[in-house]
Structures are given as structure tokens and as C-alpha cells.
Amino acid sequence: MALPESFVSQLTGLFASPAAENPTGAIVEAAYRHAGLNARYVTCEVGPAGLEAAVRGAVAMGWAGFHCSLPHKIAVVKHLDELAQAAELIGAVNCVVIRDGRLIGENTDGQGFLTSLRATVEPKGQRIVILGAGGAARAIAFELALAGAGHILIVSRRREVGEGLARDLRERTSTDASAAHWHTPFAVPADTQILINATSVGLFPDVGAKPEIDYSTVAAQMIVADIIPNPPRTAFLNEVEARGCEVIDGLGMLVNQAVIAIRSWNGIEADAQVMRETLTEIFG
């Protein structure tokens, strides 16, 4: 006789509005299964009006933690008990850890990127160019600054947003930062050591699109990263790889932020390879 369903020992999940296509659930569940953990990751559609109740509900049900996607990344902050350093600096939270009933806000997007980058190069002292000044660019920029980046140049279409991010980096970290207004094909400065596409250009289904830069200014010794996870091999990465650059794809960032979340929630070291394979299946 089949046994009645037993309690799940650890509940985790995502609060998203509206329930957007999000591959994190699939990779976290794959990691749980691989580790033989009695844990689940549930994607919940939570509207802005229901966020506070959803947060309280997670505490009441003994969840280990949850992710927040847009538009909750900033709104969730006022419902939390404390913020980790990077989340405080970035001003946004994508991952909440519930410990002894206390809600701790973290931002693991930048940390996920940093882990991925460090497999190729240590950012300390490096001259880094970031294309874009949105939420992901902000998280990555602060994490790179905390890791001791030498100089960060923010390139953005909206001048005031890029300048605001560069000013925040200068004022709140010890890294030097500046901004460039992106109005024509951007010429990458010759002394750039790491170039990062943190825009949404190239994301599926717009897979032929590339950031508008002067590709003749991309030199072979530059290390180039794209944060677009789908497709993993973007037109941007293909173009710079053909110019001799070593490249880093966006899958690593996505996998590593999940590894960090699982470490905080469940106290285990998740198998990154299992998650990467799951993503590769999803994205084809």
C-alpha cells in the first residue's frame, strides 16, 4: 500500500509576478534530487499587493528561504530583518534566507557572476568595462568593487543611470569608477582587461542581436563575459571569440547563484555540473 505523502523537510521557492518562465526552479530541483534531499523549490505567482503576506507565509510554513524576481527585488527589502553587505550596497535582494524566523536579504546575482569569472581571472586590480546599468549590471559592479577591481567603466544609454551607478561605486567602495554615455557604437578603451555584456541584448528570441560596440576595438587579450544565459552561446560571444578573446557564458552565473542559495538554505554544496546540464537541456 502506498504511504501517504510525508512532510517535505525543507521548502524553498521563488516569488515572481507574474509567474514568468524561470529556469532556476528546474536547476534547484535537479540539485535537490541529485543530493537525495527531501526538499522542494516551488515557483509561486505573487503580485505586489501580496508580497508581505507571502513573506510572512514562508516564515509561518518554515521555509528555508526564497528567491524574488522583478518587481519584488527592491520592494521585499522593507519586509526583511537584515541585509547582507552586498544587498545593502546594491539596494536589491534576489535571495532571502530564513534563519530562526529571521529574514536575511542577500543579492547572489553578482556573487554568481564573480564565481564564474574567477574560474578564468581574478578581478582584483583589473580595468573592467560593463555594458548596461540595469539591475544585473549594478549587482555585478558592486561585487567586482568589493573584490577589489581597479577601475570600472559603466557604459549606458541612459546617461543619468550610468553616472549614478559610477558615483555610488566611488562613494560606497574603494574602487574607482566612471561612466560613458552610449549613443554611438561604443569604442572599448584599449586598456580594458575584462569586458562584460550586462544588457539584455541577445536574449532569446532576439538571438542575432549584439551590443552596439565597435568590434574592431575588442582586442584578443581582453577577457569577455556575457550574462545572457539563453542562448548560452550568444552572437556577442561568437563575435569576440572570433577575435581571439577568452569568453565566459551566462550559464555559469545562473548556476553559481543557485549553488550559493542552496548553500545558504540547505547547508549543502550542490552539484554545479548537474545544474549546468539541466540548463543546457532546457536551452537546447
* Residues belonging to the active site: 73
Find the binder of ligand NDP among 27, 103, 137, 275 (CB under 6 A).
Answer: 137
* Helix 159-172 with 135-146: angle, nearest 10 deg: 20
The answer to whether the beta carbons of residues 262 and 232 sit under 8 Å apart is no
How far is 107 from 265, CA to CA, in rounded Å? 14
CB 254 → ligand NDP: shortest distance, Å? Answer: 4
Number of residues that bind ligand NDP (CB under 6 A): 24
The most distant pair of C-alpha atoms in the chain lies apart, rounded to whole Å, by: 70
Decide if residue 116 touches ligand NDP (CB under 6 A): no
Inter-CA distances, 133 with 103, 113, 159, 250, 267, Å = 28, 15, 9, 17, 33
x/- track of binding to ligand NDP for residues 147-186 (CB under 6 A)? ---------xxx--x--------------------x----
Q: Which stretch binds ligand NDP (CB under 6 A): 7-15, 168-176, 226-234, 239-247?
A: 226-234
Q: Is the dihedral of CA 254, 145, 105, 37 positive or negative?
A: positive
Q: For strand 151-156 and strand 127-131, is the pairing parallel, antiparallel, or unpaired?
A: parallel
23, 65, 229, 231: which one binds ligand NDP (CB under 6 A): 229
Pairing status of strand 246-248 against strand 82-83 = unpaired
Residue from 109, 143, 163, 168 binding ligand NDP (CB under 6 A): 109
Q: In what order do the strands lie in the sheet with 10-16?
A: 39-45, 10-16, 65-68, 95-99, 102-106, 82-83
Tell me which stretch binds ligand NDP (CB under 6 A): 3-11, 14-22, 74-82, 128-136. 128-136
Q: Per CB under 6 A, does 134 bind ligand NDP?
A: yes
What is the pairing mode between strands 95-99 and 65-68?
Answer: antiparallel
Cis peptide before 231 (omega within 30 of 0): yes
User: Closest CB to ligand NDP among 177 and 201?
Assistant: 201
Position among 46, 93, 228, 275 found at the interface with ligand NDP (CB under 6 A) = 228
Cβ proximity to ligand NDP, 8 vs 217, nearer residue = 217
Between 248 and 267, how does the x/- string for binding to ligand NDP read (CB under 6 A)?
Answer: --x--xx--x----------
Provide, rounded to whole angstroms, the least separation between the CB of residue 57 and ligand NDP.
Answer: 25
Residue 69 found at the interface with ligand NDP (CB under 6 A): no
Q: Closest separation between CB of residue 4 and ligand NDP, Å?
A: 38
| Of 58-66, 117-125, 193-201, 262-270: span binding ligand NDP (CB under 6 A) | 193-201
Return the percent helix, strand and coil in the chain, to nearest 5.
40, 20, 40
The conformation of residue 38, written as its DSSP 8-state character, comes to S
Quote the least distance from Cβ 102 to ligand NDP, whole Å.
26
Angle at alpha carbon of residue 97, lines to 27 and 255, rounded to 5°: 25
Applying CB under 6 A, which residues contact ligand NDP?
109, 112, 132-137, 156-158, 161, 182, 199-201, 203, 227-229, 250, 253-254, 257
